[in-house]
Structures are given as C-alpha cells and as structure tokens.
Chains A and B, each alone.
Chain A
C-alpha cells in the first residue's frame, strides 16, 4: 500500500530532471569520474608525447632483450644470457624471500619479547623494555648498514673460515652449507609428509568432536609432532635414505659448490627482523593488556591452569586487538626491504629499478612495474591478514 502511495506521490510532483535528486547525483558522479579520467589521461598522454619528443624509447619490448649482467643471488636459474624480464622475477623473488622470512622471524621474536615485557620477572621485563626502546628509536637504514658492516667486518676471509664440523663454513662471503641432492624415491617422502599433515587435520577435528560429546581430551599436539616427524622418517629409511649432499670446497678465492647464504641477506634479514619485532612486541603487549583481568579470574574460577588460560582465554581475545596493527607491521617490513639496495643485496629495487633501469633507460615502465609489485605484495598480505582477522574476530553467540 505504502509503495503505491509513494509512487503515486512522485508521479504527481515529479520535479524537472535538473531538480531530481537521483538524476542529479548520477550527473555529478559522471562528471567527477570524467574529470578524474581526463586528468589521468592527460598525464599519461603528456608523458608519452614528451618522451617521444625527446627521443626516449618507450614500451615493454625491452623485457625480451638479453640482460647481459650478473646477479649475486637468484632463487631461479639465471645467468647473463637471460632476459630483462627474467631479472624482474629474480629481483621479485629476492624481495619476496627476505620479506617472507622476515615476517615469520619478526612475529616469533616480537611475541616472545612482547610477552617478556609483561613478565613478573623484573630483569626479563626490563631487558625487553630496553630492547624495544633502543631498536625502534633508531632509523632502520642505519641499523641495516650497521649490521652489514658489523657482519662483514667481524667475519674472517674464506681462507680462515669459521668451521662447524667439516661441512659448514662461515666467512665474509656468507654461510656455506651442504646442498641436498634428492635422488629417486624422495618424492614418496614428500607424499608421506603431506599425508601426515592431512592426518593431523583430521585427528584435530575428530578430537574436538569427541571432546564436545564426551569431555575426554586427546593429546593432539603430541600426536601431531609424532606424525609429522615419524611418518616421513619411516618412509625415508624404508626407501634407503634417497638423499645425498654436495659439500662446499675451498678454491683459490672462495668456497665453491654447496649452498651459500650471502652476508647481505643475513644482514638485511637480521635488521628487518630486529626492527619490526620491536614494534610487534609493543602490539602484542597492548593486545594482552587490552583483555581485562576479570577474564583471567573467570578462567581460574573454572579451574583452568596458567597455560590453558593464556592459550584458550587470553590470546584469542588479544588477537582481535593484535591483528590489525600487526598487518601494517607486515606491510612495513615488506616495503622496508627495498632499503636492501644500500648494502648491495640484489632485491627488486636494486636489480630491476637499479641496473635494468640504467641499462635500458626506460624509467617510466620500470618504476611502474616495481610499484605494481609492492602494491600486489601489500594487498596480498592485507587480504590474508583480513581473512585471518575475520576468523579470530569475536563471534558473539
């Protein structure tokens, strides 16, 4: 009824189009989008025509040309004969690996220090406070350079390496480790590992259902550890240990063969981890303190011990406060990894926006591609963290 009345009302007093709020709002939005589009179009067009006028080459054809320069560290196969496009992926992966390792290590270190700061032990809590206040108040670039210089200066040259057994060597060219070479049959070990993970997921679900029905608890954690180490190990032994190691050997200048973790990577990862962990520690502390003390008391009243209180009551509630600022720390770490160029770590900025840009001179395309990578990384991390945030958010019943 009321709908009809409304319709009837509008038909009676239909305003002229320029006074119709609906038409008007559409009009303004179209105009706004048009102006914005024109603005970007004109910047784009202006850039292109100016570059053409001053004889600068444009386009993405350079990506298929041979690069002709070497890169210190590459996760994929690369040598001078590969293309500029390949250098993009080499740099991208080098950035990704340092960001990925950094996020994991910073999270672990940050949680440990954040909890330590809340410790009842005076010494532990003061040490954590001192760490946080020193590390987060010194610019990151200085810290990266400091660790790079400290690491490089402190380590001996390859001839006088620090040895750990006969296969691990540490010197100013980095850490040299034996490189695993997988032989036939190792695929089964991988399969066993995957089977163990699937089994753990299943057992966890089953144990939970059982506990909800009967109240009996099942030692999920211990079973999981046993499964994930035991099953692949059994298969590994059964297949006759299908793995061999390639060892590093000292030649005239340095070690050859095996795996090598370059010192620039260690310095950058260490600095990024230390720096970000200081911020994460504060976030963790604030998250835990945001859970009121009444929650602890309630848990105690239910008869929960210290461990389960923290694990089942405090942390889940603290996570709601921790996750959003933690996400931005992850984003910061990823973007800060571009400071690598200062110490010669071949990340995306150093390789692609440095050498490749200089050899080809195509600044606009290369800078745009580099920005797109960081944007994609950041949006990806955000998406994952938002999904996780939704999972841990308080579900009110």
Chain B
C-alpha cells in the first residue's frame, strides 16, 4: 500500500517541480511547448509559410462562398475568378503548378480568423484594404488586385435615379464587411434614414433583395454586377451611378512572415508588370529569348529575382504561363466577354488611363 502511493507522490512532485522550474527559468521555451497547440501553430508558421506550403505541396487559399467573376465554383466544380487566379498564380510561382491550390470557401465573418489561425496561407476574397484591418488584425495586405467602390442596386419599379432618394429604404447587406460601415456613414452624412437587414452570405442578401425584404442591395459595385446576373430576372434591378467609397481589394497574408508577404506581393506585381511588358500566357516561351532587359528580369533569363524571394528563377514565368498576365485574368473573369461585362476603367494600367501600377522588377 505504502509503495505505490509514495511513487505517485514522487511523480507528481517531480512534475510540479519540472513545470515550476520551467516557468521560472525558461518562459520562452515553455510557451512553445505549452499545451494549447492550436494557438501555437500560427506562431510556428510565422517565418515558415513558404517551407510549410512546399512541404504540404499545396497552397491553402481562402476564397468567397461564391461570387461570380471573383471566386465561384464553375459547372465542373472547379473554382474560377479573379481572386482565384491570384492564388493560382502564387501556387504556380511557389510550387510550379497552378493547380496545386486547395480552396476554402469563407464567409466575410470567418475570413480573418481563418487566416490568423493558420487555416489558410493566403486570403484572396474581395477583401478591402483598410487602416484598421492592416494595423490591428495581425495581417498584411499584399497589394491591390482590383480597385472597387461601393454602390447600390435597386428594384427598377421603384423608379429611383440616385442614392440621395433612398431615405427610409430597407437595405440588404452582408455581415462583417466594410460596406456596413460605409452605408452608415453615407446615410448619416446625407441625413437619410435607413434600415439595414444583415445576412451572413452574399447569396442570402440577394435572396432578401429578391423576395422584397429590402428595397436596396448594397455591396462593392463589381459584386453588384455579379449578383445582378444571379437574379431570376436581371432587368428588374438597376445599379445606381453613385460610388460612395474606395474599396481597394487585394490578397492578404499573416503578419510576421516577410518572406511570404514578399512572394505574394511580387507575384501580383509580376502579373501587372507582365501586362505592361506585353508578356502573356501564349508568348511566355518565345519572350524568354527577348532582348528587353526588363522582360529578361521578369522571366528569370537574366539576374536572379526568384532567388531573392526564395523561389526558382522561373517563378514569374510559371505564374504568367499558367495563369496569364493581369489583363488576361481580368478579361477572362470579369471583362467584356463575361456576364459581368465590366470595363477596365480605373483598373486599366497607369499608362492607359487607369491607376493599376506595379513597382518595377529589378
């Protein structure tokens, strides 16, 4: 009887002593070894996202739950869209194949937590770059892939011509978006009254609009065009001309991993630079013999831009070859030939009257 008890006491005492000593002597080590393994993961991933992605052999990419033109599953259940192509380009640059991406559909509410907790490596989900999100969520915005602005869609039969006439309207809106705040600001500033009906997903907010629960649907204007195509009868709704906010959308990564941040940032820049330099998916092989030093630097035939990112020198060539340059991505997903039918507008290159401008690769 005595024997086992003494042993148990001794073991417990040893454990307590071990932990106590650990707590006093090596607090840093302890935190790493502490039991909350789930929370420790993002910390471990910081600085090691590239290695982790290479080890997994697949890029985890957070996208929307279904927004035509930006990220939506097509008929064969493959994800496509502008945001999807950004992820595919990063996968091509890092892993050599644009198909090595695992897409995780996220609601607006879930997206930042998913990125913070390390569930995804990159968030490419029509997410607006704002001061608060950049500074207090532990995230970094890696550039702008689409310049958007918030607009309103109303039912045609109401005969509304301007957003200034909307006082007293019920507005359908998606939870957890900057649109919720812009809406409140705009109506308050213009002394208009409104009622906001908040839904979890953009699909639900469209249903609310369609069923007549709301008079107005508000969202980024690109989304409104996309959502309008989803209506049973698109001619019954009209998008108002006012744009009430700036919504620069772009890919987001976790803070604290500068290498990964650089990879995403410069992959996006490479796509935009490629359009400027005339490199596209079709001519990427022949352009490799180009005499233009800028083209040579992008495609890795001269100097070692890829090495500086910790990638192969053909990183950009892979991304452009498999996904296309920015122009190809834009036209394929949201441009003139698509149901969304959005003109380049401000998203045209800076040299062509827009504001899309990428720092040089040199």
The answer on a CB contact under 8 Å between A361 and B12 is no
Across the two chains, which residue of chain A brings its CB closest to B256?
A54
Interface size class for chain A? 35 or more
A57 within 8 A of B: yes
Q: Which of B43, B158, B188 touches A50 (beta carbons < 8 Å)? A: B43
Do A152 and B213 touch (CB < 8 A)?
yes
Task: Indicate if the CB atoms of A344 and B198 lie closer than 8 Å.
Answer: yes
How many angstroms between the C-alpha atoms of A252 and B6 in the bound complex?
83
Residues of A near B108 (CB, < 8 A) are 358
Question: Looking across the interface, which residue of chain A has its beta carbon closest to that of B41?
Answer: A50
Residues of B within 8 A of A36 (CB): none
The 0/1 profile, CB within 8 Å of A marked 1, for residues 30-59 of chain B is 110011100110110010000000000000
Q: Are B116 and A56 in contact (CB under 8 A)?
A: yes
Interface centre among B2, B34, B181, B194 (most CB of A within 10 A): B34
The number of chain B residues with a CB under 8 A from chain A is: 60
Task: Tell me how far the C-beta of B217 lies from the nearest C-beta in chain A, rounded to whole angstroms.
Answer: 13
> What are 10 inter-chain pairs, A to B, with CB distance below 8 A?
A18-B5, A24-B5, A34-B16, A47-B36, A50-B40, A50-B43, A70-B187, A71-B196, A354-B198, A355-B175
B199 and A31 within 8 A (CB): no
Since A42-B36, A152-B212, A254-B169 are in contact, a sample of 15 more A-B pairs with Cβ atoms closer than 8 Å, ordered by chain A residue number, is A18-B6, A19-B2, A34-B16, A42-B35, A43-B34, A56-B137, A70-B184, A152-B213, A253-B168, A254-B170, A344-B204, A350-B198, A357-B176, A359-B132, A361-B137
Cβ–Cβ < 8 Å partners of B5 in chain A? 18, 24
- Whether the pair A350, B181 counts as a contact (CB closer than 8 A) is no
Knowing A53-B43, A56-B136, the reply to whether A42 touches B34 (Cβ < 8 A) is yes
- Nearest-neighbour CB distance to chain A for B3, whole angstroms, equals 12
Which of B165, B181, B184, B255 touches A54 (beta carbons < 8 Å)? Answer: B255
Min C-beta distance of B87 to chain A, whole Å: 22
Interface membership of B308, Cβ < 8 A: no
Q: Which of B123-175 contact A (CB under 8 A)?
A: 132-133, 136-138, 158, 165-166, 168-170, 175
Q: Does B196 lie within 8 Å of A70, measured CB to CB?
A: yes
CB neighbours of B137 from chain A (8 A)? 55-56, 361
Are B39 and A172 neighbours in the complex by a CB distance under 8 Å?
Answer: no
A342 within 8 A of partner (CB)? yes
Measured CB to CB, the closest approach of chain B to A254, in angstroms, equals: 6
Q: Are A80 and B188 in contact (CB under 8 A)?
A: yes
Across chains A and B, the number of contacting residue pairs, with CB separation under 8 Å, is 154
Contact, CB under 8 Å: B211 / A172? yes
Taking the closest CB of chain A, its distance from the CB of B246, in whole angstroms, is 16
Residue of B nearest to A367 (CB): B113
A180 at interface (Cβ–Cβ under 8 A)? no
Question: Can you name the residue of chain B whose Cβ is closest to the Cβ of A81?
Answer: B188
Residues on B with beta carbons closer than 8 Å to the beta carbon of A51 = 138
Rounded to whole Å, the gap between the CB of A61 and the closest CB of chain B is 11
Cβ-based interface call for B328 (8 A): no
Q: Does A377 contact B (CB under 8 A)?
A: no
Q: Which of B37-95 contact A (CB under 8 A)?
A: 39-40, 42-43, 46
Q: Are B35 and A54 in contact (CB under 8 A)?
A: no
In the complex, A355 Cα to B176 Cα: how many Å? 5
A361-B112 in contact given A31-B12, A69-B180 (Cβ < 8 Å): yes
Q: Mark A251-292, 1 if CB is under 8 A from B, else 0.
A: 111101000000110000000000000000000000000000
Q: Smallest Cβ distance from B346 to chain A, in angstroms?
A: 26
Q: Is A209 an interface residue (CB 8 A)?
A: no
* In the complex, A341 has a CB within 8 A of chain B: yes
Q: What are the residues of chain B within 8 A of A252 when measuring CB–CB?
A: 158, 165, 168
CB distance from B309 to the nearest CB of A (A): 22
CB within 8 Å of B: which A20-52 residues: 24, 27, 31, 34-35, 38-39, 42-43, 45-47, 49-51
